Amino acid sequence: MDDKIQIPSSLESIYLIEDHICQMKNKFHLDDSIYGNIHLAVVEAVTNAIIHGNHMDKNKNVFIKSEKCDTAITFIVKDQGKGFDETSIPDPTLPENREKLNGRGVFLIKKLADKVSFNNNGSELQMVFFLS
């Protein structure tokens, strides 16, 4: 199964991806823990794409592709921004970064997904969630 969604760079549009993930949960009978990880990580990735990638420019879009096979579900979230170097994000667990408001999203995504990769200079994020 392969699905593609395109949403405008508006936080009000996030419900569209939430609905899509909920439909996937029902269609594929996903376990609640996997569903929770997918929901949180993908919504965080889409939020980051809207805010940091596309800078809330409603003329730009975020593209979400999901693909399911027997053993995993893969999500690709792509924005129309310039990208970023994910290695430049400070570790939010270090004492000097704990009070900072930004920088937790990528850390959270890496903890929730089984595999994470950044492509196209960071404007594309691929997350893999194993089903077993």
pLDDT score for 85: 87
pLDDT band at 1 (very low <50, low <70, confident <90, very high): low
Span 14-27, average pLDDT: 94
Which residue, among 13, 88, 17, has the nearest Cα to 54 in the 3D structure?
Answer: 13
pLDDT score for 2: 67
The CA distance from 115 to 113, in Å, is 6
Strand order in the sheet with 115-119: 2-8, 61-68, 72-78, 124-130, 115-119
Which residue, among 77, 75, 63, has the nearest Cα to 130 in the 3D structure?
Answer: 75
Find the CATH number of the domain harbouring 120: 3.30.565.10
Taking a C-beta distance cutoff of 8 angstroms, is the pair 54, 79 a contact?
yes
pLDDT digits (tens, 9 = 90+) for 85-108: 888 888 888 888 888 877 789 999
pTM of the model: 0.93
Span 27-41, average pLDDT: 95
The CA distance from 25 to 21, in Å, is 6
Q: What three-state secondary structure class fits 71? A: coil
Span 125-129, average pLDDT: 98
- Structural domain range at position 117: 2-130
pLDDT score for 91: 85
Whole-angstrom CA distances from 76 to 96, 104, 116 are 32, 19, 10
Q: What three-state secondary structure class fits 5? A: strand
The count of structural domains within the chain is 1
